[in-house]
Amino acid sequence: MASFKLLVPLLLAVILFFSGCAQPQKADLTIYTYDSMASEYGLGPAVIEAFEAQCDCNVHMIAKGDAGQVLSTALLEKGKPKADILIGIDNSMLSHMYKADVLEKFTPKNISIVPENLRFDKEGYLTPYDYGYIAFVYDTTKVNVPMDSFDSLLDSSLEKKIAIQNPRTSSPGLALLLWTVAVYGDPGYKDFWKKLKPNILTVTDSWDQSAGMFAQGEVPIYLSYATSPPYYSQFEDKNYFLAAGFKEGHYIQVEGMGIVKGTKNRALAEKFIEFSLEKKFQQEIPLHQFMYPVNKGVELPASFRQYALFPQKQLELDPKLVDEKEEKWILEWEKIMLSG
């Protein structure tokens, strides 16, 4: 009897040990995105906690440089994916996404939230979550040229004062190239770039690098977004950094997210994408992403209403034309930029 009494606590300990081990582990969702999204002050940290509480899971948001590098990384891992979702693939990169063949089709149950004109991927691989317009942001205390057209960028006073991004590695960089094609046509865009080249100080691989140079005062003009000025007003109290409104119009950028082909967390990935269209997610976009939310039910903050540029004329090229001509346009651009 004494020996049995001694065994009881031991048996209970064993039962408790194994029952503890049997507790199901939380699911892990891995997301690849661009640097600013995953940064300390980016949209990622602002929405991840809310989704984790909703799904009882762990979300790992991993920065991979710019959107182009996000897609390149997924392509390198094709067949053995490490990510479940890609965030940041935009309308300018649509042909690259199709060719990479790294995403699975998915239509969220709440897709009706997104206006038809913003659903840029008609094949159904990407779900839009925000949008904006490409624009040149400039320091009005240092730039004395009226910044109202592409011709403004050609002024001799701006020699080596502009930072842009590489269209091979950066989504806004590619959008800029497409923007010039939309305005000047082909081959007219090449003449514009030849004239612009003397005023370009540097071509960075990512938007973050150009933005950093602007922040440090290394350049008074850089390629950014029409919604960038609200950031400088809201967080740096600088109301003299403005977006130049061009009479030619502005190229629209719609950003999307998609499910990686071969993911083992398809159901969880679907839930996250549907969550991205809800107000909990969408209301964080203006002051973290500094883009417009696709959910029209979200009220824009005062800084957006006062300082964001909403172009009267929206430009965009036919995706089929971009698919056909993009590589040619980039090669011609590279020849111009590398010429003596």
Q: Would you state the pLDDT for residue 100?
A: 95
Nearest to 309 by CA among 290, 335, 332: 290
Give the number of other Cβ atoms within 10 Å of residue 227's Cβ: 27
pLDDT above 90 coverage of the chain, percent: 82
Cβ proximity of 48 and 59 under 8 Å: yes
CA 279/CA 42 separation, integer angstroms: 17
Residues in the chain predicted with pLDDT less than 70, given as ranges, are 1-24
Query: Which amino acid is it at 317?
Result: L
Task: Read off the pTM.
Answer: 0.85
Tokens (6 digits) for 13: 């300990």
Q: Is the peptide bond before 286 cis (omega within 30 degrees of 0)?
A: no
Tokens (6 digits) for 225: 């977004």
pLDDT in tens, 147-182: 999 999 999 999 999 999 999 988 899 999 999 999
Cβ proximity of 152 and 244 under 8 Å: yes
Q: Would you state the pLDDT for residue 16?
A: 46
Q: Would you state the pLDDT for residue 65?
A: 83
Q: Would you state the pLDDT for residue 9?
A: 52
